[in-house]
Structure 1
Amino acid sequence: MRDMTASPEMPLVRRLEAVGFRAWPAAEVAYDGSWLIRLTECHDSRRLNSVNPLDPSDSRDIAARLEKASRRFADYGRQLTVRQTPLTPPALIAHMNEAGWQSFAGSIVMIADIPPNESTDSIEHLPTRDIGRFVDARVQICPGEHSAKAALTEIIGAIKPEIGLFVFEDTKIGPSAISLAVHDNDLAGLLQVAVAPEKRGQGIATAIVQSSLRWARLRGARQAWLAVETGNQAARGLYAKFGFREVYRYVYRRPGE
């Protein structure tokens, strides 16, 4: 496994972790030392149901704390999951490795400068304020998420920073692309970017990301961040066109069978 315990940009890693938690809030948040435990009964998102260590030096009583967290997860009907980032204590990583914990769902956190908008200071596509409309579009583009419709509505409604909900529509198929931009001071996060399968490869993803970034720039953001699955080469290629670069990676860990 790639070593993620060290990073030349640890202050940036800490900041991106913090804005990431605000951008996708869990229903229940608890701390065990510097281990942030996030649980959400209504949605099975890994990011919303994971232990997130935030201090590489906080490695006391690892076995006991994992057992305590496991009981908390079990109360929610969830399997204990640790999100391993550069902030995860090396001793915890060693413990999981020795115990045969599985690694899965690797992602890359990226950042890019948002270029100034054109002199008109306007954007062609304005975000909607209708969370229901956005969620309906998400479910239509990603049918497998229909059961999570109510949960997505609740999660998006709980986001505290300013949000821009972008929905592109086609007269024939309805929603063709979506993007959720979260403006947090001088940073903007891009989440939930998706394009209808029949509209991919037509430049729509580029257009909706561009609209999201222009909106964020007008709101005061100067840099944008996002997380993309390691194996999603198409998305990584898209984001590279906008100047996104890798800052760090993370994976999820669970106890082996």
Structure 2
Amino acid sequence: MDMTSNDRKPPTETATDGYPVTVDLPSVRRLEAVGFRAWPAASVQYDGSWLIRLTAGHPSKRLNSVNPLDPSDYRDIAVRLEKAGRRFAELDRPLTVRQTPLTPPQMIAYMDEQGWTSFAHSLVLALDLAERDFGEGIDHLPIKDVGRFVDARILIGGEAAETKPALSEIINAIKPECGLFLFEDRKIGPTAVSLVVHDNDLAGIMQFAVAEAVRRQGVGRALLDASLRWARLKGAKKAWLQVEAANEPAVALYRDAGFTEVYRYLYRAPKV
């Protein structure tokens, strides 16, 4: 899918490793770039075209991973991975590589030969906002209170309270404009949250979560519609998001809303 010109048909065939046979690499590169801006790591270092992201205070895999960005950059793979591993160890993080269509095939072959595990297979989906009819106006406005949003996200996601300072810091570090959406019920409290990052003509849907008590009741769809409506009113032409492939209810929600696959990625770690 070309994110800057006319849409191209998304991949429909799938390789044995789960990746689409054909992907549009310029679209992958652009979505990777906006994804990094939408979820900034505390520490960013480059080794050639490998982007090494580390965040001591938060366990997010996206914030603690090696991200190869050029399929042709495969020199000294073993040495560079060992060097990256030392950086991760300094922060007590396991060495993790985020494998995308930009990962050199030689690096993938090396990890395969060394018995690296794979986990958290994920999809990157996109939606042309011009194709959706949201009606006039906006029925839910984003809130301004980052602390309140973070408290709700931690509660709904069942995350450790200790992650609040780091999550607050991450959100405050996002440079593009953000919309913090929070749905609440008078009896049970927070029911759903989403973070929308508006970056030029793109809008990323982040931190999307619905409380278990209200799932399958239309809350997720209402939250998604509110998030997308705000993004379009801000001028975004396309929306994108990342979701684990194993999260079938979420994938079904997004596909039903019209999102289509652009590419896939997964995480790799050395065998213990």
TM range (shorter): over 0.9
* CA distance in 2 between partners of 1:181 and 1:145 (Å): 23
Are residue 25 (structure 1) and residue 43 (structure 2) matched? no
TM alignment of 1:134-213, pairs within 5 A: 134-213=149-228
TM-score by length of 1: 0.96
- Alignment partner for residue 230 of structure 2, among 215, 220, 228? 215
SS of 2:119's equivalent in the other structure is: strand
Q: In percent, how many aligned pairs have the same letter?
A: 62
Q: Distance in 2 between matches of 1:8 and 1:157?
A: 33
1:5 offset after TM fit, Å? 8.9
Which of residues 250, 261, 272 is equivalent to 1:246? 261
Residues 43-98 of structure 1: CA deviation (Å, up to 9, x unaligned): 01111000000000000011110111011111111111100000000000000000
Q: CA deviation at 1:150?
A: 1.2
- Structure 1: gaps of 5 or more residues: none
CA displacement, residues 154-189 of structure 1 (integer Å, 9 cap, x when unaligned)? 110100100000000101011111010000000000
* Residues 96-148 of structure 1 deviation map (CA, whole Å, 9 limit, x = unaligned): 0000000011100000111366563x200000011001001112212233221
RMSD: 1.4
Aligned to 1:44: 59
Report the TM-score, using the length of structure 2 for normalisation: 0.91
- Inter-partner Cα distance in structure 1 for 2:165 and 2:88: 21
Asked whether the equivalents of residues 34 and 58 of structure 1 are also in contact (C-alpha less than 8 Å), the reply is yes
CA distance in 1, matches of 2:149, 2:269: 32
Aligned partner letter, 1:12? S
Q: Which residue of 2 aligns with 1:66?
A: 81
Rounded to whole Å, the distance in 2 between the matches of 1:51 and 1:255 is: 13
Contact 2:127 2:260 (8 Å CA) reproduced: yes
Cα 1:196/1:204, change in 2 over 3 Å? same
Q: Is the 8 A contact 1:117 1:217 kept in 2?
A: no
Which of these residues, 226, 230, 248, is aligned with residue 233 of structure 1? 248
Residue 10 of structure 1, aligned match among 6, 25, 36: 25
Q: CA offset at residue 7 of structure 1? A: 3.5
Note closer, same or farther for the CA distance 1:118–1:71 as it changes in structure 2 (3 Å cut): closer
